Amino acid sequence: MNLSAYLAIIFGSIFVNNFVLARFLGLCPFVGVSKKTDEAVGMGMAVIFVMTLASAATWCIYHFVLLPGEQTGQNILSFVIGNRVSLVPILKNVSYILVIATLVQLVEIAMRKMSPGLYRALGIYLPLITTNCAVMGVALLNTTDAPRHFNFLEATVQGFSAGIGFLLAMLLMSAIRERLALSEVPESLRGLPVAFICAAMMALSFLGFAGILGTG
* Shortest separation between residue 203's beta carbon and other proteins, angstroms: 26
Residues 209, 15 contacting (CB under 8 angstroms): yes
Nearest distance from residue 20's CB to other proteins, in Å?
27
Alpha helices in 115-132 (DSSP H): 116-122, 126-129
45 vs 77, beta carbon nearer other proteins: 77
Closest CB to other proteins among residues 85, 128: 85
Binding site for other proteins (CB under 8 A): 76-78, 80-81, 83, 85, 87, 90-91, 94-95, 98-99, 102, 105-106, 109-110, 112-114, 182-183
Q: Which is nearer to other proteins, 7 or 109 (CB)?
A: 109
Output the smallest distance, CB 95 to other proteins, in A.
6
- Cα gap 79→165, rounded to integer Å: 42
User: Quick one: 100 or 157, whose CB is closer to other proteins?
Assistant: 100
Task: Identify the DSSP state of 99.
Answer: H
Which among 18, 2, 32 is positioned nearest to 129, based on CA atoms? 32
CA distance linking residue 156 with residue 49, whole number of Å: 11
